Structure 1
Amino acid sequence: MALKENSARVKIASTLKKENKDSLDALSSETDIPISKLLDRAIELLLKEYQKK
């Protein structure tokens, strides 16, 4: 699916540990939640954790 120009989403490129990617793929398959949404949630939780400090 192509991103629209006015989309609120942006592309990023990064690398992950293989075991994290495998676990992420498995979680996405089990929950039917797209990986992009899982990553959004993980980043939100991480940012929240660091803002408390």
Structure 2
Amino acid sequence: MGRKDLKNRTPIGSALDTDIYKQLKEYSAETKIPISKILDMAIEQFLESTKKK
């Protein structure tokens, strides 16, 4: 069951390449953008790029 305090988000579980994760954490710390928001943007761009035209 999901967390009841999350209204507009869905928790997921996944595993990333260790080096990619380190870079992601560094970027998040430098920009002060939460990792969840970075992942939202990246996945949204990926989905847009795979849409049939």
TM-score by length of 2: 0.86
Structure 1's consecutive aligned runs of 4 or more residues displaced over 3 angstroms after TM superposition are none
| Gap regions ≥5 residues in structure 2 | none
Q: CA RMSD in A?
A: 1.7
Q: How far apart in 2 are the matches of 1:35 and 1:15?
A: 14
User: Unaligned 5+ residue runs, structure 1?
Assistant: none
**Which digits, 9 at most, give the CA deviation of each residue in 1:17-49, with x for residues without a partner?**
001100100000010000000000000000000
Aligned length: 51
What is the aligned-residue identity percentage?
41
Tell me the TM-score normalised to structure 1 length.
0.86
